[in-house]
C-alpha cells in the first residue's frame, strides 16, 4: 500500500480529540509525556461540536425567548410587545459559541506541545497503528495508546437516518428550517431537552417514550413537575410507544449510542470488546492489552462527557506510572427542561433496591423566598439518606439553576456528609440552596418553612 513505509516511534498515542481524548492528551503532557493526538474532524468531539454545547446554547436562547412571552412579565410590570426570533441567526450564534470553544481547545493542545494529526487510525498490531489523512500517512509505533473514539447514534433496524424525515438528535440541531410539527422518540435527557427546545420556539412537539415514564430511575415527585412543565409548553406525551408503528415525520430518535470501534481493527491488537462493541476496560481504564487504554463513550459506559473527562485524566495518570482508578461514587445528571431537573446518587427506590434502609426529605420551591423573587414556584428538592448513619445517598433538585445546585450534593455524597452536616452549615439567605438544607431538615423532621 505505502511504498518505503517508515515506522515512527511515538510515546503516547491518543485516538480521538473529544472530551476524553483531549483531556487525556493535556494531562499526559502535563506529566511530561510526549503526546501525539489523532483526530479526523476538528477538536472537541461530539459534545463540543454537535451535542451538548450546541444543544445547551440553543436551549438558553430559546428559554430567553420563551420567558419574554410569559404573562408573568406583565405581573412584574414589564411589557414586551413584539418579541420574535430568527432561527438562522440563532443557529449562527450557536455556531459562534462552538467555534470559540474549539479555538480554546486548539490553543490548549498547542500550548501543551501536543502533536495533532488530522486523520483516522487503526491497529496494525498491538504496538503499531496506521494513521491516514488527506495529507499524511504514518505508521506509528507507540509506548502507550489511549482510545477515545466516542460513540454515534445507535442505528435502527428498519429505519435509516436520512437527516430529513428520520433524524438523530445531532441532525435535529442542524435543521436549517424549523418544522411546524416534530415527533420525538425517546425517554432520556436528550429527548426531553429536544422537546423543550422546539416547543419553546413554537413547534408542535409530540414526545413518544418507549417505556412507562420519562427518565427512568428518577423519583416520581420531581418527575411530575418536569412532565407538567413539558405539557405547559404544549408537548404531548405518549408512553409505551412502538417505534415501528410511528409514521409521523419528521421524527427525531434518541435511541442511545453505539461505540465507534468497528474501524479500529481491534482484532489486530487482540483488544477485547463487549457484544455492543464497547472496549472492555478495568477501573484503571486499561483494556485487555495493558498498554492500550480506552476512555469515554467508546468503552460503552454511560455517554456523559463528565465521565469521559475523568476517565481521560485517569488513563493519562496511569500510563505515567500513577496508581489511580475511575471510581466515583456518583455521577450527576442535569436535564435542561422547564423547570430544570438535576439528580445525583440513588433515588429512594434504587436505594431500597440496593438494600439500604432510608429516610427521605423534601422541600417545595414555593416555600423558598429566593425562588419567589425569581418569579417561579415550580420545583422541589428531595433527599435520600441512609437511616443507619444519616449519610446522604442521593438528591434531586427541580427548579431554576438546578444543574448548578446539584454540585454541592455531589460533594456531600462523595465526602460522606450526613443530613446533620447539611443542617449545620450556613446557607446564604435568601438563596436557592436553602432548599437543600430544608430538605435535609425535613428528613430530620425539623424543617422550618413547611408545616409538619
Q: Which of 350, 366, 444, 450 binds another protein (CB under 8 A)?
A: 350
246 CB-side CA count, 13 A: 26
Active site residue 429: yes
Q: Which is nearer to another protein, 214 or 307 (CB)?
A: 307
Identify residues 411-450 at the interface with another protein (CB under 8 A): 414-416, 418
Min dist CB 385 to another protein, Å, is 12
The enclosing H or E element of 42 equals none
According to the binding rule CB under 8 A, does residue 281 interact with another protein?
yes
Listed ranges 15-23, 51-59, 90-98, 279-287: which one lies at the site for another protein (CB under 8 A): 279-287
Edge-to-edge strand list for the sheet holding 251-253: 166-167, 251-253, 181-185, 204-208, 236-238
Q: Of these residues, 34, 291, 336, 429, which one is catalytic? A: 429
Q: What count of other Cβ atoms lies within 10 Å of the Cβ of residue 268? A: 15
> What is the dihedral sign for C-alpha 98, 93, 63, 173?
negative
Beta-carbon contacts of residue 217 (< 8 Å; ≥ 6 apart): 347, 350
Min dist CB 301 to another protein, Å, is 5
Judged by phi (left if over 0) then psi (alpha if -120 to 50, else beta), residue 113 lies in: left
**C-alpha distances out from residue 372 to 68, 365, 366, 378, Å:** 18, 8, 7, 10
Question: Smallest Cα–Cα separation from 217: which of 366, 362, 335, 340?
Answer: 335
According to the binding rule CB under 8 A, does residue 283 interact with another protein?
yes
Q: Which of 222, 300, 339, 364 binds another protein (CB under 8 A)?
A: 300
Q: Which is nearer to another protein, 66 or 418 (CB)?
A: 418
Listed ranges 47-55, 88-96, 233-241, 296-304: which one lies at the site for another protein (CB under 8 A): 296-304
Q: Which is nearer to another protein, 64 or 353 (CB)?
A: 353
Listed ranges 87-95, 219-227, 229-237, 327-335: which one lies at the site for another protein (CB under 8 A): 327-335
Question: Smallest Cα–Cα separation from 331: which of 302, 360, 358?
Answer: 302
Which three-class secondary structure state does DSSP give residue 118?
Answer: strand
Binding site for another protein (CB under 8 A): 216-217, 256, 274-276, 278-283, 288, 290, 299-302, 307, 321-331, 345-346, 350, 353-356, 386, 389, 391, 393, 414-416, 418
Just list the catalytic residues: 429
Amino acid at each position: 500500500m505505502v511504498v518505503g513505509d517508515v515506522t515512527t516511534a511515538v510515546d503516547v498515542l491518543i485516538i480521538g480529540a473529544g472530551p476524553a481524548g483531549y483531556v487525556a492528551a493535556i494531562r499526559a503532557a502535563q506529566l511530561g509525556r510526549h503526546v501525539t493526538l489523532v483526530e479526523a474532524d476538528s477538536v472537541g468531539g461530539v459534545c463540543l461540536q454537535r451535542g451538548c454545547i450546541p444543544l445547551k446554547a440553543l436551549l438558553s436562547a430559546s428559554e430567553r425567548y420563551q420567558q419574554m412571552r410569559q404573562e408573568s412579565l406583565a405581573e412584574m410590570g414589564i411589557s414586551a410587545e413584539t418579541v420574535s426570533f430568527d432561527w438562522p441567526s440563532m443557529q449562527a450564534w450557536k455556531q459562534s459559541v462552538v467555534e470559540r470553544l474549539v479555538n480554546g481547545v486548539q490553543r490548549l493542545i498547542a500550548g501543551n506541545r501536543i502533536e495533532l494529526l488530522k486523520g483516522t487510525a487503526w491497529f496494525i498490531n498491538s504496538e503499531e497503528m496506521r494513521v491516514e489523512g488527506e495529507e499524511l500517512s504514518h505508521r506509528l509505533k507507540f509506548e502507550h495508546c489511549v482510545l477515545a473514539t466516542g460513540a454515534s447514534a445507535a442505528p435502527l433496524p428498519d429505519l435509516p437516518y436520512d437527516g430529513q424525515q428520520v433524524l438523530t438528535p445531532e441532525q435535529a440541531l442542524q435543521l436549517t428550517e424549523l418544522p411546524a410539527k416534530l415527533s420525538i422518540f425517546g425517554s432520556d435527557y436528550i429527548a426531553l431537552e429536544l422537546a423543550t427546545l422546539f416547543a419553546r420556539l413554537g413547534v408542535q412537539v409530540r414526545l413518544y417514550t418507549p417505556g412507562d415514564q420519562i427518565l427512568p430511575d428518577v423519583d416520581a415527585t420531581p418527575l411530575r413537575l418536569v412532565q407538567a412543565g413539558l405539557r405547559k409548553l404544549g408537548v404531548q406525551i405518549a408512553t409505551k410507544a412502538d417505534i415501528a408503528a410511528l409514521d409521523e415525520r419528521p421524527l427525531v430518535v434518541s435511541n442511545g449510542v453505539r461505540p465507534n470501534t468497528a474501524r479500529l481493527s481491534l482484532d489486530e491488537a487482540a483488544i477485547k470488546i463487549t457484544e455492543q462493541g464497547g472496549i472492555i476496560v478495568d477501573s484503571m481504564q486499561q483494556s485487555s492489552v495493558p498498554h492500550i487504554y480506552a476512555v469515554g463513550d467508546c468503552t460503552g459506559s454511560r455517554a456523559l462527557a463528565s465521565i469521559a473527562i475523568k476517565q481521560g485524566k485517569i488513563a493519562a495518570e496511569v500510563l505515567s506510572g500513577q496508581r489511580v482508578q475511575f471510581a466515583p461514587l456518583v455521577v450527576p445528571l442535569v436535564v435542561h427542561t422547564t423547570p430544570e431537573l438535576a439528580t445525583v446518587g440513588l433515588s429512594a427506590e434504587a436505594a431500597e433496591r440496593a438494600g439500604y434502609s432510608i429516610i427521605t426529605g423534601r422541600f417545595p420551591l414555593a416555600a423558598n423566598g429566593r425562588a419567589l423573587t425569581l418569579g417561579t414556584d415550580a420545583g422541589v428538592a428531595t433527599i435520600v439518606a441512609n437511616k443507619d448513619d444519616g449519610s446522604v445517598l442521593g438528591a434531586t433538585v427541580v427548579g431554576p439553576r438546578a444543574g448548578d445546585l446539584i454540585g454541592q450534593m455531589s460533594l456531600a455524597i462523595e465526602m460522606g456528609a450526613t443530613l446533620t452536616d447539611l443542617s449545620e452549615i450556613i446557607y446564604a439567605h435568601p438563596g436557592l440552596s436553602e432548599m437543600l438544607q430544608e430538605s435535609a431538615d425535613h428528613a430530620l423532621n425539623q424543617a422550618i418553612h413547611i408545616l409538619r
